[in-house]
């Protein structure tokens, strides 16, 4: 006779799950009707003009996007250290999460065999450009001529999280940096710069934020739970026979990434999804 094992399934998320229908637009600019307040800044040679400019030849949403390259060669010059700076953007104080999104092409140096060491990154200023702090890691990603979306939820779901800046007025800048190796490319293209505020409402399983109020799952049940609001825990309890198959699957990416824990009746961690979004195991 198989013994019974009581297991508590706890889903812990420090912000909230991202559901597109539960977000509001804070700021959007596709640079088609206006680029007011956006300007180039030559960081390598402040007295020289920047190579950031609007173009209508390549864009994600027609007709315009920003690019950093030389208008004569359509390549960024060797030694480029150039930034595209946004105007001041005020973020709401009351929010369950804030996210930066945009489309980009990073077409950096390549000689047919070797990628250059050139890279780009994003910085943020809270004092109208007097000082800057790194917001994203240096990126050597070369997308060729393909438009990609930032953030990439398949690999780095914490990218783009602006929640800690709620209530602040920020400026952003995209920085393209050339490492002198003789390799340059068509440059960095930016389009559809967007900031959204995330919102959601408690689901039908609330309140289930503690083991005392855990929502009980019966054998064969499938539960879909939305994590919200900020700093929510969703706790589900179930009793499984030893050897029963258990699956916990995170369907939607989040900022930051959701952490799912499976505990036994003694509150010892049995499994977590630190490396997997789809946990499958036998009790």
What are the strands of the beta sheet with 4-12, ordered from one edge? 215-216, 233-241, 4-12, 259-264, 269-272
> Which pLDDT belongs to residue 20?
41
> Which pLDDT belongs to residue 250?
66
Is the pLDDT confidence value at 169 over 50? yes
Is the pLDDT confidence value at 161 over 60? yes
- Report, as an integer, the average pLDDT of 48-73: 94
- Please, which pLDDT band fits residue 6 given cuts at 50, 70 and 90? very low
- Report, as an integer, the average pLDDT of 264-278: 70
Is the pLDDT confidence value at 121 over 90? yes
Fold designation for 21-198: Jelly Rolls (2.60.120)
Is the pLDDT confidence value at 10 over 90? no
pLDDT in tens, 176-230: 999 988 899 999 999 999 999 877 666 777 777 788 888 888 777 777 776 664 5
**What CA–CA distance (Å, rounded) separates 85 from 194?**
14
Positions of CATH 2.60.120.200 in the chain: 21-198
> Which pLDDT belongs to residue 21?
43
pLDDT in tens, 235-265: 888 777 777 777 776 655 554 556 677 777 7
Residue of 279, 221, 218, 270 whose CA lies nearest to 249: 279
Distant-in-sequence contacts of 2-5, Cβ < 8 A, 24+ apart:
2/241, 2/242, 2/243, 3/241, 3/242, 4/239, 4/240, 4/241, 4/242, 5/239, 5/240, 5/241, 5/242, 5/264, 5/265, 5/283
> Which pLDDT belongs to residue 166?
93
> Which pLDDT belongs to residue 279?
67
DSSP state of 228: -
- Measure Cα distances from 37 to 40, 49, 166 in Å: 10, 16, 21
> Which pLDDT belongs to residue 18?
35
**And the tokens for 278?**
């789809």
**What CA–CA distance (Å, rounded) separates 55 from 67?**
7
Mean pLDDT value across the chain: 80
Is the pLDDT confidence value at 164 over 80? yes
**What CA–CA distance (Å, rounded) separates 24 from 19?**
11
pLDDT in tens, 128-151: 999 999 998 777 667 778 899 888
Q: What percentage of the chain exceeds 70 in pLDDT?
A: 76
Residue 213 phi/psi, 5-degree rounding, is -110, 15
> Which pLDDT belongs to residue 12?
37
Is the pLDDT confidence value at 153 over 70? no
- Report, as an integer, the average pLDDT of 161-181: 94
Residue 83 phi/psi, 5-degree rounding, is -130, 145
Lowest model confidence (mean pLDDT) among 118-132, 152-166, 220-234: 220-234
């Amino acid at each position: 006779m198989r013994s019974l094992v009581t297991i508590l399934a706890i889903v812990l998320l420090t912000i909230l799950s991202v559901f597109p229908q539960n977000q509001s637009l804070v700021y959007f600019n596709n640079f088609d009707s206006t680029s007011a307040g956006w300007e180039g800044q030559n960081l390598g040679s402040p007295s020289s003009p920047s190579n950031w400019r609007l173009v209508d030849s390549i864009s994600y949403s027609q007709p315009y996007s920003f690019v950093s390259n030389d208008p004569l060669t359509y390549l960024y010059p060797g030694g480029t250290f150039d930034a595209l700076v946004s105007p001041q953007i005020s973020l709401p104080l009351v929010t369950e999460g804030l996210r930066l999104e945009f489309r980009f092409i990073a077409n950096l140096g390549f000689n047919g065999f070797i990628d250059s060491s050139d890279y780009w990154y994003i910085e943020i200023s809270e004092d109208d450009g007097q000082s800057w702090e790194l917001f994203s890691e240096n990126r050597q990603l070369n997308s060729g001529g393909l438009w990609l979306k930032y953030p990439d939820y398949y690999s780095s779901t914490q990218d783009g999280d602006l929640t800690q800046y709620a209530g602040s007025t920020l400026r952003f800048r995209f920085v393209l940096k050339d490492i002198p190796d003789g390799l340059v490319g068509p440059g960095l293209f930016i389009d559809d710069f967007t900031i959204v505020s995330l919102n959601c409402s408690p689901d039908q399983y609330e309140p289930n934020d503690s083991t005392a109020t855990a929502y009980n799952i019966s054998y064969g049940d499938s539960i879909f739970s939305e994590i919200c609001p900020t700093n929510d825990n969703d706790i589900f309890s179930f009793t499984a026979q030893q050897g029963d198959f258990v699956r916990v699957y995170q369907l939607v990416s989040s900022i930051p990434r959701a952490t799912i824990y499976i505990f036994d009746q003694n509150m010892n961690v049995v499994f977590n999804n630190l490396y997997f979004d789809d946990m499958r195991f036998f009790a």
